[in-house]
A and B are shown apart, each in its own frame.
Chain A
């Protein structure tokens, strides 16, 4: 006890409590002064402060001053949601030398002051929440961030426009790129297009530097870049290792190839909806084609000339009907989502048909016209002026009668039913995730959304999908070429940024095993979604124990619950830390003295 170092340590053990009035947003509904007064009696609490805005510059300076002068070790804060301004407050304390893992913030704004009108009730609730924060802060343990090196190479999965653009950007920054493509050529689906919006001119079907496509990624550039290793006819089979140094096995025609990469960009793209899934549209009849097939006819006509001829008999079609939303916005037989690009490309194709064959009657049957792109409105107006008929309403079916095909459709503007004798029917098929993208999502542990596209952590904020893993282009959802390229560039910039730093740190909110308690049963290994846990023999003791790779661990804590012997603990969410809160909140005094 006489040891001065020990006394000093004990002296620092105390908890400081800060309550934020949030410029009266909280103060108006919660009597913070009364709470502060009550807490002063708590022996664990060394100081209590009320501030009008802890996240402001003054608030941060105030906290730093407090830490300098008052020698406490832990902090409990009652303020806004820790997911909103929590980082700012804890960072201020961290800058002053506090271990940020000894910081606990409870939410007395969103989940208290703003939703409970009664001041007395809100104050009682806020008080119990702050007390639970103190209970938890008492049990917190100081930790260090995990710092890991990032390897300076990238794996890009998918060689379409997004993958190629990302590869070019990263290679230009001087990093090694492995570009894996499933098919035998680069360019993806864009490469097969005859023309693209908004110039209504060629796609990237050639490798010449036309004015229209000088800014789109070019296959030759990718193939010639010394920093890019292209693997065609190849697929990613397995990923091991963790953030910063992922080991990936790729199946190539020359046998398996293994690479180590620091970052991964997924650009697996999308495929078009199979219209056979909607039998009443009679896809399969020679007069009924999809927009991708019409693209091939348009490409052939561009290369060889000879006009647009229908597949059945080579005649020039007199009446062409476009049916929109095939497989999109259709919960019963297709996908619920809107594929975004179909209105635009169908109008482009209709205009092309009208240009080549001005006498043809061209109809577009649509539910709503959606083209959230710059220049779409002008594009649409030009199509109307050129005499393309826009018919609002759903198509009920395509009827085949001997050698004729009819489109049965509603025109909701004039409230009539139409039966159009049609030479050629074009189905504007929507987009859905590419074949094999499920598999890639599984290998990389990326979550997928309800339409099976890869899902952002925050839909409003493009970011990493997993640490060091980015998704670009239509793998994330339907989008046009320009937006895919934008995403590719942003993903590439983030990846370059990460590799340039060479190392990164992230919070040690991860699980770890108490090997003395572990029985090696393997439940945790089965539970972990990230394959971060392996059960291995411990040669010293001759028993099985599980080991957690803290770099792969995402900190969800599922293994800690699955463990039959409480051998797994999760930093920041240890049993005693959560239970301290549970106990405090369950035991709360009903009678309030405020």
Chain B
């Protein structure tokens, strides 16, 4: 959790206390690892908060910064990018590009007045249904604490 989110939830309860806040979370999953990991979570019936929506791309390296910016512009409260673990990319090195790109995206988001924690990168392999569930629960909690996106009038 970033400092301002912690501060907000500590000082005034933030939007985290808002029972009715239903965040919109976009999840980009690579076809080979993370999408299969998300499917495994489903097959294993691992229950998760219902606010995330998965978009499949062939590789996490196909997640154009434009997609992320578009998501925030259109009102998403959080974006999660999930890809194969390092040294495990179906496309040899796509995930390394994603890693570098996401680090820059976080800086960029801050420039636009978004908390960088609204964007998260996670490695989820095809066998990690539980990790997918854990990631979704954690990220949903983070976004709930951060509250409504500044694009929709949140702070």
Chain A nearest CB, measured from B140 CB (Å): 12
**Cβ contact within 8 Å between A578 and B92:** no
Interface size on B, residues (CB 8 A): 50
Q: Which of A83, A117, A527, A554 contacts B97 (CB 8 A)?
A: A527
**Cβ contact within 8 Å between A578 and B57:** yes
**Cβ contact within 8 Å between A132 and B74:** no
CB contacts under 8 Å to A, within B35-76, are 35-36, 38-43, 45-48, 50, 53-59, 61-67, 70-76
Residues from chain A with a CB closer than 8 A to the CB of B53 are: 125, 128-129, 132, 585, 588
A144 at the interface (CB under 8 A from B): no
A403 at the interface (CB under 8 A from B): no
**Cβ contact within 8 Å between B70 and A558:** no
Q: Which residue on B lies nearest to A557, using beta carbons?
A: B62
Chain B nearest CB, measured from A133 CB (Å): 11
Binds B, one of A235-243, A358-366, A377-385, A443-451: A443-451
Chain A nearest CB, measured from B154 CB (Å): 13
How many inter-chain residue pairs (CB < 8 Å) link A and B?
146
Q: Which of A107, A125, A582, A586 contacts B50 (CB 8 A)?
A: A125
**Cβ contact within 8 Å between B39 and A107:** yes
Chain B nearest CB, measured from A548 CB (Å): 15
B144 at the interface (CB under 8 A from A): no
Whole-angstrom distance between the alpha carbons of A556 and B24 in the complex?
27
Residues from chain B with a CB closer than 8 A to the CB of A83 are: 31, 35-36, 39
Whole-angstrom distance between the alpha carbons of A581 and B71 in the complex?
10
Residues from chain B with a CB closer than 8 A to the CB of A549 are: none
Residues from chain B with a CB closer than 8 A to the CB of A445 are: 92
A590 at the interface (CB under 8 A from B): yes
CB contacts under 8 Å to A, within B73-89, are 73-76, 87-89
Chain B nearest CB, measured from A90 CB (Å): 15
B128 at the interface (CB under 8 A from A): no
B122 at the interface (CB under 8 A from A): no
Binds B, one of A108-116, A316-324, A407-415: A108-116
Residues from chain B with a CB closer than 8 A to the CB of A558 are: 59, 61-62, 91, 94, 97
Chain A nearest CB, measured from B145 CB (Å): 19
Whole-angstrom distance between the alpha carbons of A449 and B88 in the complex?
6
**Cβ contact within 8 Å between A586 and B75:** yes
**Cβ contact within 8 Å between A447 and B50:** no
Chain A nearest CB, measured from B42 CB (Å): 3
**Cβ contact within 8 Å between B24 and A110:** no
Whole-angstrom distance between the alpha carbons of A84 and B66 in the complex?
29
**Cβ contact within 8 Å between B45 and A586:** no
A94 at the interface (CB under 8 A from B): no
Q: Which of B42, B50, B62, B67 contacts A579 (CB 8 A)?
A: B67
**Cβ contact within 8 Å between B38 and A573:** no
Residues from chain B with a CB closer than 8 A to the CB of A573 are: 57-58, 62
A561 at the interface (CB under 8 A from B): yes
A555 at the interface (CB under 8 A from B): yes
Known pairs A116-B50, A585-B24; A575 contacts B66 (CB<8 A): yes
> Which B residues lie at the A interface, using CB under 8 A?
22, 24, 26, 31-32, 35-36, 38-43, 45-48, 50, 53-59, 61-67, 70-76, 87-94, 97, 101, 133
> Which A residues lie at the B interface, using CB under 8 A?
81-84, 107, 109-112, 114-118, 121-122, 124-125, 128-129, 132, 445, 447-450, 455, 457, 509, 527, 529, 554-558, 560-562, 570, 573, 575, 578-579, 581-583, 585-588, 590
Can you name 23 A-B residue pairings with CB atoms under 8 Å? A107-B42, A110-B38, A110-B43, A115-B47, A116-B47, A118-B50, A121-B50, A529-B92, A529-B94, A556-B59, A556-B62, A556-B94, A557-B62, A558-B61, A561-B65, A578-B57, A578-B67, A579-B67, A583-B70, A586-B75, A588-B24, A588-B53, A590-B24
Give 3 nearest A-B pairs by CB, closest first: A110-B42, A557-B62, A586-B74
